[in-house]
Amino acid sequence: MVVLMYIGIILAVIVVAFIIELLIVGLYPNVSVPKQYPEINPRSLQDKTIVGKGTRKEVRFDVKGVAVSAWLYLPEAASSPSPCVVMAHGLGGTRDMGLDAYARRFEEAGFAVLAFDYRYNGESDGNPRQLIWIPSQLEDYAGAIDYVRNLKEINPAKIALWGTSLSGGHVIVSAAKDNKIACIAAQCPLLDGTETAEEHVKHMGIKYVLRMTGHGQRDIVRSWMRLSPHKIPIVGKPGTVALMANNDAWNTFSAMAPDNYINEACARIAIRMDKYQPVNQLGQVNCPVLLQVGDKDMAVPAKVVNKARKLLKQNCEIIHYPIDHFDIYLEDNFEKAVNHQVAFFSKHLI
């Protein structure tokens, strides 16, 4: 009994200490992180894409009462309802960061496309601004799917999903929940947040991880207390505080971001990414899947790809590229990846 009493006391002290730590981290005054501004140097994907002959128009649809902004592309002179690709960007990305280039290729190949901004980001509504929250982004994908299913121009039986990086995981989870999805394409997808976090510890060091944990805790505690969010840069130079603090991320965002890009996010996502494991839902995906993997991509470790291969059924294509996580968006790597996507969608949607 004495031993149990001491164990109870120790546990109580740990819980109290943790609560005090959270309150200090969340409420300590005048904590801010220096803003960072990507050196906008566009290497436009538009210059390399085929300009489609169809139409692109701005549309909006509601998800839980919040308006989501999107571009709807319709192929030229479609004689019947078109197959449709639903797409959104990865971590911190908005639709004006290169999605038009992919969408134009898909539209030229005969597909309608809906490219949307998540709630709280880009041109979509919602507060707090710059919130990246995985459950809400999954709701946005579901809302986008429902929206196109109810358009007369769209064939509801021929809806595909496209995702990249974080949204590459979203399309897997979305297809696992919705067995009417025709096929999905995921490039450099986040498959296992735990494995990705372990790779970050190896490459960035425990000091960086602890700093990011503190910033994430501060933001989430402030959200519980309905205080203003604590924000940090999405991309940053090496050694700085940012969700992605490395030269590859910095240079790619500089090449893709528009002049009005807001390089900040509510920091709470920093302590939630490791808990996101789309790979565990691959067994529930019944439609054809295209996984495009960079062999030098620390966000998608090789052992996770092997796990995905075992979980997926025979209707899976895995294409490897000798590239890192961010290389796939630009120049020749973009050309190779988008051509594989067009071929995949043509095979399963037409």
pLDDT for the residue 19: 61
Bridge pairing between strands 244-245 and 235-236: parallel
Split at pLDDT 50, 70, 90, the class of 25 is low
Structure token pair of residue 73? 């592309």
- pLDDT-wise least confident of 50-64, 134-148, 246-260, 315-329: 50-64
CATH of domain 46-194+269-349: 3.40.50.1820
What pTM does this model have?
0.91
d(CA 16, CA 169): 36
* Residues 6 or more apart in contact with residue 221 via CB below 8 angstroms: 22, 23, 25, 26, 27
Residue in 197, 217, 220, 219 with CA at minimum distance from that of residue 209: 197
Establish how many alpha carbons lie within 13 A of residue 164's alpha carbon, considering only the half-sphere containing its beta carbon.
24
The fraction of the chain above a pLDDT of 70, given in percent, is 87
The mean per-residue pLDDT over the stretch 149-157 comes to 97
pLDDT at residue 102 tops 80: yes
Mean pLDDT over all residues of the chain? 89
Spatial separation of the C-alpha atoms in residues 110 and 106, rounded to whole Å: 7
Contact 41, 90 (CB under 8 A): no
pLDDT tier for residue 9 given thresholds of 50, 70 and 90: low
Through-space distance between the first and last CA atoms of the chain, rounded to whole angstroms = 71
Residue 39 token pair:
């050196």
Asked if residues 271 and 213 have their Cβ atoms less than 8 Å apart, the reply is yes
Cα 68 from Cα 274, distance rounded (Å): 27
3-state SS string for the chain: CHHHHHHHHHHHHHHHHHHHHHHHHHHCCCCCCCCCCCCCCCCCCHHHCCCCCCEEEEEEEEECCEEEEEEEEECCCCCCCEEEEEECCCCCCCCCCCHHHHHHHHHHCCCEEEEECCCCCCCCCCCCCCCCCHHHHHHHHHHHHHHHHCCCCEEEEEEEEEEECHHHHHHHHHHHHCCCCCEEEEECCCCCHHHHHHHHHHHHCHHHHHHHHHHHHHHHHHHHCCCCCCEECCEECCCCCCCEECHHHHHHHHHHCCCCCCCCEEHHHHHCHHHCCHHHHHHHCCCCEEEEEECCCCCCCHHHHHHHHHHCCCCEEEEEECCCCCHHHCHHHHHHHHHHHHHHHHHHHC
Other CB atoms within a 10 A radius of the CB of residue 246 amount to 21
Residue 8 pLDDT > 50, yes or no? yes
Residues 112-128 have pLDDT tens digits of 999 999 999 999 999 99
Q: 153: how many CB neighbours lie within 10 A of its CB?
A: 14
Looking at mean pLDDT, say which of 9-23, 52-66, 117-131, 316-330 comes out highest: 117-131
